[in-house]
Amino acid sequence: MVPNIVSNEVGYINSVVRNVRNVKRSEFKPFFDDLNAADCIILVGEGRSQSALYIGMGQMNKVVKTMVDVDFPGRNIHEAAPVLEKKYNKIALLVNSGSGETATPKIIVKQLSDYIEQNESDKFTINAVVSDTKSSIGKISEKEYGHVLELKGRKKKSRATNEFLKHGIMNDVYELGSLLLFQKTKEAINEGNGHSTVFKKIADESIVIGKIVDSFVCSDKYHEIIDKLETRSRITMGGIGPARNVAKMTAIRLQHAKRAVGDEAYLSGPFASRPRAGDILFLISWSGETEPILGWCLEQKSFGAYVYSIVGSESRLSKYSKSFIIESTATTFYERATFALSPLPLHLVERLNQRKFTLPEYIMEWWEHSITQ
């Protein structure tokens, strides 16, 4: 039995757990069975929903594809479908879209639905997680080949600053909930277990997540990061492979808060700013031994920048930077790191509010836009 409160420090973590726990088991079984039976799963999403999907379904013991893979057999799903049919017996399209109206996923679902019906194909299923089952994507559940899960969390909220602190910026509750659901679904399939084990896994993991989040936000390192973030400094989030999706989700949220003080948040790569003294680099790495990551760390330090990290164990990166260790397997590390990092922009907003700094209207407009994503 999951306690009602798993995190004492960050209230919306409890909402995330409650929403995932309330997913209907009758909806989940056919959804799970489709993914379990598939020998190829195609991931579809946009923005942070996409990152949550990629993190959750990464490291899976099945063929997992995205439509931007260099070896994806077509420019769109309609073109790829006949090629996939020849290669695989069962193909599941897996969609994550909180609103159920996100542009690209909606188009892809429509294209595959048309293909299935025009060709009377029995090799494809369309499986989606949405907050609104009456949405365009949600209505695919009316089809024999469509199974949809309703996951709460994508709601319009007050524009007041304290509502950011309560519910998260840009629908964190939905994105994190979908990540937890995908993560435990993947683990159950990898281990050869049935659908009934998924919610036991969610219950156990929720308690662990709560402890990790509370430990991180109460740490001296965390408070130091918030101190640095409220100054005129830029922050770059960095990671490679699955860690890059963790960095991306965090950078998107931080950018909205950092721009309020005239600064920027970046994702590491060619478009990130050159390091300068006083800037912040935050790195995510399970091993803490990835050479490019270590190179970024040392380069930033040589310019006088501050370097922080989340790692899976004692490592060179944990020694070279101010590091928080999440002891876990590589399979669960990226999910837990995403949860741990999610409160950063909220506590930055809280700090700015304490300084009597009013969030500008354009942040509110971005937040409104995020509801449709």
- Which mean pLDDT values do the consecutive 10-residue runs of the chain (373 residues) have? 87 93 96 98 95 96 96 95 97 97 97 97 98 97 98 64 49 91 98 96 97 97 95 94 95 85 88 89 97 95 96 97 96 97 87 74 45 32
Residue 201 · residue 184 · CB < 8 Å: yes
Same domain, 145 and 218: no
Q: Say whether both 191 and 236 belong to one domain.
A: no
Residue 325 CA from chain centroid, whole number: 20
pLDDT value at position 168?
47
Residue 325 sits in a domain whose CATH number is: 3.40.50.10490
Residues 205 and 277 in one domain: no
In a domain, 2, yes or no: no
Out of 154, 184, 210, a domain closes at 210
Whether residues 19 and 125 share a domain: the answer is yes
What are residue 43's phi and psi, to 5 degrees? -95, 130
Are 112 and 126 a contacting pair, CB within 8 Å? yes
pLDDT of amino acid 366: 41
pLDDT of residue 363: 53
In a domain, 145, yes or no: yes
- Residues with Cβ within 8 Å of residue 116, at least 6 apart in sequence: 124, 126, 143, 145
Q: Which domain holds residue 126?
A: 11-210
Is residue 1 one of the residues assigned to a domain?
no
Task: Tell me whether residue 182 is in a domain.
Answer: yes
Of 4, 23, 2, give the one whose Cα is nearest residue 15.
4
Q: Does 6 fall in a domain?
A: no
Specify the pLDDT at position 203.
96
Helix 172-190 to helix 47-57 angle, to the nearest 10 degrees?
Answer: 20
Say whether both 29 and 149 belong to one domain. yes
Tokens 């991931």 correspond to 43
Statement to judge: residues 139 and 271 lie in one domain = no
| Residue 248 Cα distances to 69, 224, 245, 278, 342, angstroms | 18, 22, 5, 22, 11
* Number of structural domains the chain divides into: 2
Domain boundary among 152, 177, 210: 210
> Is residue 181 domain-shared with residue 223, that is, in the same domain?
no
On whether both 135 and 221 belong to a single domain, the answer is no
Question: Is residue 230 a part of any domain in this protein?
Answer: yes
pLDDT at 361: 62
C-alpha–C-alpha distance, residues 257 and 117, integer Å: 46
Which of 271, 261, 257, 275 is closest to 343 using CA atoms? 257
Residues 157 and 262 in one domain: no
CA-CA distances (angstroms) from residue 288 to 221, 275, 330?
Answer: 18, 21, 12
Residues 35 and 66 reside in one and the same domain: yes
Q: Which of 163, 194, 210 is the last residue of a domain?
A: 210
- Confirm whether 30 is domain-assigned: yes
3 domain residue, yes or no: no
SS (H, E, C) the chain: CCCCCCCCCCHHHHHHHHHHHCCCHHHHHHHHHHHHHCCEEEEEECHHHHHHHHHHHCCCCCEEEECCCCCCCCCCHHHHHHHHHHHCCCEEEEEECCCCCCHHHHHHHHHHHHHHHHHCCCCEEEEEEECCCCCCCHHHHHCCCEEEEECCCCCCCCCCHHHHHHHCCCCHHHHHHHHHHHHHHHHHHHCCCCCHHHHHHHHHHHHHHHHHHHHHHCCHHHHHHHHHHCCCCCEEEECCCHHHHHHHHHHHHHHHHHHHHCCCEEECCCCCCCCCCCCEEEEEECCCCCHHHHHHHHHHHHCCCEEEEEECCCCHHHHHCEEEECCCCHHHHHHHHHHHHCCHHHHHHHHHHHCCCCCCHHHHHHHHHHHCC
Residues 150, 163 within the same domain: yes
Q: Tell me, yes or no, whether 169 and 301 share the same domain.
A: no
